Amino acid sequence: MKAAKQELAKGLNEFVGGVIPKDKLTAMMQMPQKAGMGDFAIHCSPFQKVLGFDNPGEAAQFIADNAEFPEYISAESQNGFLNFFINSDYLANQTLDQVIEQGEDYGRNNIGEDKLVVFDYSAPNIGKPLHVGHIRSTILGDSLIKIMQFSGYETFGINYLGDVGLHIAKTVAAYDLWSSPEKLAKNPEEEILNLYVRFNKEMADNPELEEKAKLTAKKIEEGDLATTKTLDFISEMSMDAFNRVYNLLDVQFDEITGQSKFSDKGKEVIQSMLEKGVAEKTEDGAVVVSLDEYKLPEKVVLKSDGTAIYATQDLGAATYRKEHFDFDKLLYVVANEQEQYFKQIFGILDKAGNDWADDCFHVSFGMINLADGKMSTREGTIVYLEEVLDKSTLMAKKVIDEKNPDLENKEDVAKMVGVGAVKYMVLGVDYPKNIEFSWERALNFEGNSAPYIQYAHARASSILRKNGSSAEYEVTHIESDSEKQLVKQLAMFPLRVEAAVEKYKPHIIANYAYELSSAFNAFYNTVSVKDAGDQKETKLALVQSYVTTVNNAMDLLGIQLPEEM
Ligand code: ARG
């Protein structure tokens, strides 16, 4: 499909003597959903002007009659559109050849060649558990990294841990008051959270605690030995808990760096902004940057007592990353609550004369709502991510016990299905939108879900197990609609990858994997491979191509596909 699209753009460009650029023509090319309207279609109003016709319809007819396209493409004019039809036998041969020859590499492109993207993602806060809200950043970041690597980018993924701030000072202070290493070691996650909650509660009646928290914060910033030791201990416990979840999700980072590392760098950056007149001191000594020219409210970047804040560290971290990595893009995968904040940060960087501020991008994602309430174990307060994944795995196990009680590696498969279901639920939704999380949909074997795709893949794998994969095939003629549709879906994959990478949108791949698998299921329900006679090899090649392509697609989402389920 990709080659056909390029050849069409080339043909049209030549036909109008190069007046409409190829890029523009490629961008104008649509893929109609309705049958009978072609594999590609282009509206002819731009040609009307160039070719001097009164309406797009006449232009379309003229082009259809006179332009030369490759022989495997036919053109029809319809309502001002040119509809292009690709010969299905040609497409089948070409696509199967490509998929089978390229295997794991089918769908790759080199859009990102020689470019480096740095990711800032996951980024939970020490002292607080990873909850469902964090899952989106972690899973989205992980998938984007995979998609960008598949498109030739070099990537570097940073987990920017929240290891400073008042909430941590409170936890450290509370630990000193009420806890011990033994207590903490017993159930670290809960103990740490409880300390924080208790501190806040008691602080309401006891203002001395607030002073204590501030003092602790100061000690942390000054590097006081005893305080730092406590903080390190708490961090370690927190990190162990995070790592359990990262292991479940199979997510790895190139680097895990605390926010606190960038306080000094941030202060340096801000000092030079003061010198350049980009930032200014207020009467009470805080440093602010006015952002009128960006139509944004002014931003405090340093507190009046000279201590660093969230923005200080982000300015330091971004500058450090540019100096250290010389990235082509820096992507922040962070919830949309921080949308204005990142606009301000990028605005400040730009105002200070950093031309690379334009290369920073906030992948600003929506919330996850727990639609059926069942996921919320503690009256909607905090839902532990680990609990969600465990529950999902358990539910998957139940289904497998019913459907396929004799399956050998049930535990492993249940994990692939359970974790996959949660990942797919998260990745299947366009990132700016909120997610209405529903167990019913996540684990619905019949709907747009990971288990649906996994099940289709298991069916296909079973066909290959029973019949062997195809060594010799030659598509002579493809008759059935379901086969034509499957070929078309297979051929679409490289274009979908390009769309996903250009827009930072894994949901394009998720939805594609579903459409592809629906096409496979339709094929499965109507075509018998076993009884296909001399067409058997060809049908096997189709099944094999499906297996390869769906694996490549799901790999980009970090979702595993069991051979059997
Ligand atoms: N730790 C922050 C939070 O949980 C997210 C950090 C995002 N990254 C950044 N560079 N600010 O809200």
| Domain ranges within the chain, ordered by starting residue | 2-86, 122-257+317-370, 392-555
User: CA-CA distance, 543 to 483, in Å (whole number)?
Assistant: 10
| Strands lying side by side in the sheet with 154-161 | 255-258, 154-161, 116-121, 329-335, 360-365
Please give the number of the atom of ligand 1 that sits closest to the Cα of 334.
7
Q: What percentage of residues in the chain have a pLDDT greater than 90?
A: 79
pLDDT at 117: 98
Mean residue pLDDT across the chain: 92
Mean pLDDT value across residues 336-360: 97
Residue 379 has pLDDT above 60, yes or no: no
Higher pLDDT, 136 or 479: 136
pLDDT confidence tier of residue 2, bands split at 50, 70 and 90 = confident
* Ligand 1 centroid – CA 369 distance (Å): 20
* Ligand 1 centroid – CA 534 distance (Å): 59
pLDDT confidence tier of residue 372, bands split at 50, 70 and 90 = low
* Residue with CA nearest ligand 1 atom 4: 124
Sign of CA dihedral 138, 142, 143, 147: positive
Residue 259 has pLDDT above 70, yes or no: yes
| Strands lying side by side in the sheet with 280-281 | 280-281, 287-289, 299-302
Q: Does domain 2-86 have CATH number 2.60.300.12?
A: no
Query: From the CB of 332, is ligand 1 less than 6 Å away?
Result: yes
Which residues contact residue 522 at a Cβ distance below 8 angstroms, ignoring those fewer than 6 apart? 482, 485, 486
Mean pLDDT value across residues 389-415: 93
* Ligand 1 centroid – CA 118 distance (Å): 15
pLDDT at 470: 67
Mean pLDDT value across residues 256-278: 96
Please give the number of the atom of ligand 1 that sits closest to the Cα of 337.
12
pLDDT at 290: 98
Residue 380 has pLDDT above 60, yes or no: no
Considering the segment(s) 122-257+317-370 as one domain, its CATH architecture is 3-Layer(aba) Sandwich (3.40)
Contacts of 239-246 with C-beta under 8 Å, sequence gap 24+, read 239/126, 240/188, 241/129, 241/130, 241/188, 241/189, 241/386, 242/124, 242/130, 244/386, 245/130, 245/385, 245/386, 245/389, 246/122, 246/138
Mean pLDDT value across residues 253-258: 96
Per the document, the length of the chain is: 565
CATH T-level assignment (fold) for domain 392-555: Isoleucyl-tRNA Synthetase; Domain 1 (1.10.730)
Residue 159's DSSP bridge partners are 121, 256
pLDDT at 433: 95
Lowest pLDDT segment from 122-126, 317-321, 434-438: 434-438
User: CA-CA distance, 453 to 449, in Å (whole number)?
Assistant: 7
Q: Name, of 47-56, 232-241, 448-457, 524-533, the range with top average pLDDT.
A: 448-457
pLDDT at 479: 80
pLDDT confidence tier of residue 476, bands split at 50, 70 and 90 = confident
User: CA-CA distance, 94 to 88, in Å (whole number)?
Assistant: 10
* Residue with CA nearest ligand 1 atom 1: 162
- 343 by DSSP, 3-state: which? helix
* Residue with CA nearest ligand 1 atom 5: 123
Q: Name, of 177-191, 200-214, 541-555, the range with top average pLDDT.
A: 541-555
* Ligand 1 centroid – CA 45 distance (Å): 47
* Phi, then psi, of 456 in degrees rounded to 5: -60, -40
Q: What percentage of residues in the chain have a pLDDT greater than 70?
A: 97
pLDDT at 550: 98
User: Contact, 425 vs 441, CB < 8 A?
Assistant: yes
pLDDT confidence tier of residue 371, bands split at 50, 70 and 90 = low
Instruction: Please give the torsion angle defined by the CA atoms of residues 105, 106, 109 and 114, in that order, rounded to the nearest 10 degrees.
Output: 0
Please give the number of the atom of ligand 1 that sits closest to the Cα of 161.
1
Mean pLDDT value across residues 268-290: 97
Residue 377 has pLDDT above 50, yes or no: no
* Ligand 1 centroid – CA 124 distance (Å): 7
* Residue with CA nearest ligand 1 atom 6: 123
Mean pLDDT value across residues 157-165: 94
Query: From the CB of 121, is ligand 1 less than 6 Å away?
Result: no
Mean pLDDT value across residues 295-322: 96
- The pTM of the full predicted model, rounded to 2 decimals, is 0.93
Which residues contact residue 434 at a Cβ distance below 8 angstroms, ignoring those fewer than 6 apart? 366, 367, 368, 369
Residue 86's DSSP bridge partners are 73
- β-pairing verdict for 368-370 and 435-437: parallel
* Ligand 1 centroid – CA 312 distance (Å): 13
> Residue 426 has which token pair?
């998260």
In 10 A of CB 490, how many CB atoms?
A: 26
Query: From the CB of 334, is ligand 1 less than 6 Å away?
Result: yes
User: Contact, 523 vs 463, CB < 8 A?
Assistant: no
* Residue with CA nearest ligand 1 atom 10: 314
pLDDT at 513: 98
pLDDT confidence tier of residue 222, bands split at 50, 70 and 90 = confident
User: Contact, 429 vs 441, CB < 8 A?
Assistant: no
pLDDT at 385: 79
User: CA-CA distance, 324 to 158, in Å (whole number)?
Assistant: 13
Mutational pocket test of ligand 1: of 138, 160, 345, the residue with most ligand atoms within 8 Å of the beta carbon: 160
pLDDT at 186: 85
pLDDT in tens, 16-70: 999 999 999 999 999 998 878 899 999 999 999 899 999 999 999 999 999 988 8
* Residue with CA nearest ligand 1 atom 11: 314
